[in-house]
C-alpha cells in the first residue's frame, strides 16, 4: 500500500495525475487496500467494488494520459453512503429490514453526476438503520468506530463516510443529512462536511425522511467540497424538490471577501444544552478569525431554534411511523432506537404531522427574516465530543439539538475542524448561511480552514 497516496486530497491527486506522477489506478488500489486493512477495526464499509473501481480508474488514467480529463475530480476515489442508490452495488439503507428487491436501482442524481465527471466510486459506507440517529451502528453492519479513538463513535448517520475520509480511505465521500447526519460526524471525525441548501443537490429517491434530507460532500478540505458541489449540484429532473440550476462555480467563490459581512455568533443557539468548555473556547477562536478578516460579529440567534427542533422531532417520528407501516413485519428487524421512533410516531394524535408542517412554514419564514439581518450564523456543531460507544444508550442515542433546525429551515450549514481537545479529539465549528447562501458558507469555511488547517488522526 502506498501510504503517501492516502494523504493526498482531490486537488493534489488531480495535480499529480496531470503531471503523470501518480496514476488513478495506483490511487484507487491504495484506497481499496486501506479499506480492507481497516475494516476489522473501523468497519466503515458495507460493500467494496474492486473490479468496478479499478475499471473506472483505468479509464480515468487514459483520459489524463491523453490530457482529456472529464473534470477536476476525474479519477479521484469517492465513497457513497449506503442510502444513496449506486448502480452495480446493493443499497441497503443500513438495515436488515430492507426488502431485497428494493436494494437495486439506477444511480441517484449525485452518483450519476460524479460518474459523468469521472470520479471513481469504490464502495458504500455504513450508516444506522435508515439514517435515523447520529451514531453509527446497526443490526446489519455492527458498530462503526472513530479513527481518532476506536472506543468512540465517528458520529452518524454518515459515520462510515466520516471514518473513511478521516482515515485516508478516499478523499471524497457522499453523505446525507436529515438532522445533522453530515455535520455531526464531520465534527467528531475531524473532517469537513457540508449540508447544502435543501434541493441544491438533487436527490432521488429521497428515502425515509424525504422533506428534510439533504445530500452533500464530506471531504478533508473545503476546496474539495467545492469541487464536489460543482459536480453534484448539476440538474436532474427526477428530484421535484430541486432548486433551479444556476451554474455556480463554488471553487471560484471560495475567496469571497468577508469584510463587512454580518456574522451572528451563538455559543449555544439559545438552548439549554451545556456546551463542553473546550468546544466553546475553540468555536470562539473560529469566530475571532472571521472578525479579524473584517466581519461584523454580534451575539444572536433566531428565536425559533428550540421550537423548530421540536417540530423536527414530530417530522422524524411521523416519517418513522410511516416507514414502519411500509416495512410491516420486517420492522421487527430494525434497531431498538428506530423501533422506539416508530412507536412514538404511532402515538401522535390525528393531525399532529399536518400541524407540524404548518408550524415549520411559520418558523422557517421567521428564520429567513433573521438571515435578512445576518449573513452567517456561527456556533458549535454539537455540545459534546465524540462519545464512548459503550456509554451510548441504545434506546436513547444522542440528539442533534444544534443541527436539526437547519434541516427544517432548509438553509446551508457546514462543520469543519477548529482544533483538538486536550485529549486529542476533534472539535467542529458550525457555519450556517441564509437561504441558498451555499457559496458564502463555503467561503467562510475556507477562511477558517486557512487558520486552523486540516486534521489527520494518528491511526
Q: What share of the chain is helix, strand, coil (3-state, %, to 5)?
A: 40, 15, 45
Instruction: Provide CB contacts within 8 A for 127, sequence distance 6+.
Output: 81, 82, 83, 93, 94, 136, 138, 156, 157, 158, 159, 160, 181
Instruction: Output the CA torsion sign for 7, 11, 17, 19.
Output: negative
Candidates 40, 278, 289; CA nearest to 143 is 40
Point out which residues pair with 176 in neighbouring strands.
215
| Bond before 157 cis per omega within 30 degrees | yes
| Bond before 309 cis per omega within 30 degrees | no
Per-residue pLDDT of the chain (459 residues; tens, 9 = 90+): 478 999 999 999 999 999 999 999 999 999 999 999 999 999 999 999 999 999 999 999 999 999 999 999 999 999 999 999 999 999 999 999 999 999 999 999 999 999 999 999 999 999 999 999 999 999 999 999 999 999 999 999 999 999 999 999 999 999 999 999 999 999 999 999 999 999 999 999 999 999 999 999 999 999 999 999 999 999 999 999 999 999 999 999 999 999 999 999 999 999 999 999 999 999 999 999 999 999 999 999 999 999 999 999 999 999 999 999 999 999 999 999 999 999 999 999 999 999 999 999 999 999 999 999 999 999 999 999 999 999 999 999 999 999 999 999 999 999 999 999 999 999 999 999 999 999 999 999 999 999 999 999 987
DSSP assignment letter at 333: G
Question: Which residues belong to the active site?
Answer: 81, 157, 181
Domains along the chain? 3-308+350-452 (3.90.1300.10)
Instruction: Give the Cα separation of 208 and 130 in Å (integer).
Output: 7
Amino acid at each position: 500500500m502506498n501510504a503517501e497516496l492516502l494523504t493526498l486530497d482531490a486537488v493534489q491527486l488531480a495535480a499529480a495525475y496531470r503531471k503523470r506522477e501518480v496514476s488513478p489506478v495506483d490511487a484507487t488500489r491504495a484506497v481499496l487496500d486501506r479499506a480492507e486493512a481497516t475494516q476489522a477495526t473501523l468497519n466503515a464499509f458495507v460493500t467494496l467494488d474492486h473490479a468496478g473501481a479499478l475499471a473506472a480508474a483505468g479509464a480515468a488514467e487514459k483520459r489524463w494520459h491523453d490530457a482529456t480529463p472529464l473534470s477536476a475530480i476525474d479519477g479521484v476515489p469517492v465513497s457513497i453512503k449506503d442510502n444513496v442508490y449506486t448502480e452495480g452495488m446493493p443499497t441497503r439503507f443500513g438495515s436488515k429490514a430492507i426488502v431485497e428487491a428494493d436494494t437495486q436501482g439506477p444511480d441517484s442524481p449525485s452518483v450519476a453526476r460524479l460518474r459523468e465527471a469521472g470520479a471513481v466510486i469504490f464502495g458504500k459506507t455504513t450508516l444506522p438503520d435508515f439514517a435515523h440517529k447520529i451514531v453509527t451502528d446497526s443490526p446489519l453492519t455492527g458498530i462503526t468506530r472513530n479513527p481518532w479513538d476506536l472506543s468512540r463513535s465517528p458520529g452518524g448517520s454518515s459515520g462510515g463516510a466520516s471514518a473513511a475520509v478521516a482515515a485516508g480511505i478516499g478523499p471524497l465521500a457522499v453523505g446525507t443529512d436529515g438532522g445533522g447526519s453530515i455535520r455531526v460526524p464531520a465534527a467528531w471525525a475531524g473532517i469537513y462536511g457540508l449540508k447544502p441548501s435543501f434541493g441544491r443537490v438533487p436527490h432521488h429517491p429521497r428515502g425515509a425522511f424525504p422533506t428534510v434530507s439533504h445530500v452533500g460532500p464530506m471531504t478533508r478540505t473545503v476546496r474539495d467540497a467545492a469541487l464536489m458541489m460543482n459536480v453534484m449540484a448539476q440538474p436532474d429532473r427526477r428530484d421535484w424538490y430541486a432548486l433551479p440550476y444556476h451554474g455556480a462555480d463554488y471553487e471560484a467563490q471560495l475567496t469571497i471577501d468577508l469584510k463587512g459581512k454580518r456574522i451572528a455568533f451563538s455559543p449555544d443557539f439559545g438552548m439549554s444544552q451545556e456546551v463542553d468548555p473546550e468546544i466553546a473556547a475553540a468555536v470562539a477562536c473560529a469566530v475571532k478569525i472571521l472578525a479579524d478578516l473584517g466581519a461584523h460579529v454580534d451575539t444572536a440567534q433566531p428565536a425559533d431554534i428550540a421550537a423548530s427542533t421540536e417540530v423536527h422531532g414530530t417530522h422524524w417520528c411521523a416519517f418513522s411511523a410511516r416507514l414502519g407501516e411500509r416495512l410491516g413485519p420486517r420492522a421487527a428487524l430494525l434497531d431498538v432506537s428506530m423501533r422506539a421512533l416508530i412507536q412514538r410516531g404511532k402515538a401522535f394524535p390525528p393531525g399532529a404531522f399536518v400541524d407540524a408542517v404548518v408550524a415549520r412554514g411559520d418558523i422557517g419564514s421567521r428564520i429567513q427574516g433573521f438571515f435578512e439581518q445576518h449573513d452567517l450564523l456561527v456556533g458549535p456543531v454539537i455540545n459534546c465530543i465524540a462519545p464512548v460507544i459503550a456509554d451510548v444508550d441504545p434506546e436513547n442515542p444522542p440528539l442533534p439539538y444544534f443541527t436539526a433546525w437547519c434541516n427544517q429551515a432548509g438553509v446551508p450549514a457546514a462543520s469543519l475542524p477548529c482544533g483538538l481537545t486536550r485529549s486529542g479529539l476533534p472539535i467542529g465549528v458550525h457555519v450556517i448561511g441564509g437561504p441558498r447562501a451555499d457559496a458564502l458558507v463555503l467561503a467562510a469555511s475556507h477562511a477558517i480552514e486557512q487558520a486552523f488547517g486540516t486534521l489527520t488522526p494518528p491511526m
